[in-house]
Chain A
Amino acid sequence: DVVMTQTPPSLSVAIGQSVSISCKSSQSLVHSDGKTYLNWLLQNPGQSPKRLIYQVSNLGSGVPDRFSGTGSEKDFTLKISRVEAEDLGVYHCVQATHVPWTFGGGTKLELK
């Protein structure tokens, strides 16, 4: 299985601060079709996960452009510019290039 190593496990931030979350995979996530199926999800407390980013850097529907995704091969980053209160929750990276699809361990974003 592809191991997704996500860091840090938690972040304490102030509103308006910018933060980055790292996700590293044990194998390249480039699919045979040439695409890289790396997604970022946010789960706000008490809610279902919401997709923020797909295929490394594409913004999901309705997602504010404060969120951005970068990376390639085995090394990926989610950046949140100007954190807002609604951004608090648990972030996961998840790869869907290799079966089984696998998740990072999560990063909990909390208010400082």
Chain B
Amino acid sequence: EIQLQESGPGLVKPSQSLSLTCSVTGYTITSGYDWSWIRKFPGNKMEWMGYISYSGSTNYNPSLKSRISITRDTSKNQFFLQLNSVTTEDTATYYCASPFAYWGQGTLVTVSS
């Protein structure tokens, strides 16, 4: 069974970078799928942020393109999110997912000074 688990700081200061890790078990991330980051804002709004494919190519939401980077460590079967220059509007629950069948449990990241 594929399982995903997010980890990282729950509090980030404005203008700093948000960094999250997604650890995948039960499947090798180089075998298939697009490994995504998706966030849910307070309320119900959801936003796809981007993915790194099994081959290593990336695709980002243009609304974030200047601030986002998704990378991976295949030796650890992990992929990562970095979002630069965060503001309070980036406060959200962040999910890693293999869209859309497999999801992590989500991690709340609050941007506040």
Contacts and interface: CB of A to CB of B under 8 A. Distances in A.
Interface of A: 39, 41, 43, 48-51, 54, 60-61, 90, 92, 94, 96, 99-103, 105-106, 108
B27 interface: no
B99 A48 contact: no
13 contacts: A39-B99, A48-B95, A48-B104, A49-B46, A49-B95, A54-B101, A60-B101, A94-B46, A94-B48, A102-B48, A105-B45, A106-B44, A106-B45
B44 A101 contact: no
Interface residues of B, number: 19
Contacts of B103: 48-50
Nearest to A94: B100
Interface stretch (B7-15, B57-65, B75-83): B57-65
B27 to A, nearest CB: 14
B91 to A, nearest CB: 18
Contacts of B40: 43
Contact of A103 (B46, B104, B105, B106): B46
A39 B48 CA distance: 13
A100 B37 CA distance: 12
B47 interface: yes
Given A48-B106, A103-B46, A103-B48, 14 more contacts: A39-B99, A48-B104, A48-B105, A49-B95, A49-B97, A49-B103, A54-B100, A94-B46, A94-B100, A96-B100, A99-B59, A99-B61, A100-B62, A103-B45
Contact of A61 (B59, B97, B99, B101): B101
A90 B41 CA distance: 13
Given A99-B59, A100-B61, A100-B62, A49 B47 contact: no
B48 A100 contact: yes
A78 to B, nearest CB: 14
A99 B49 CA distance: 10
A101 B48 contact: yes
Contacts of B97: 49
B102 to A, nearest CB: 9
Among B45, B48, B104, the one with the most A-chain Cβ atoms within 10 Å of its Cβ is B48
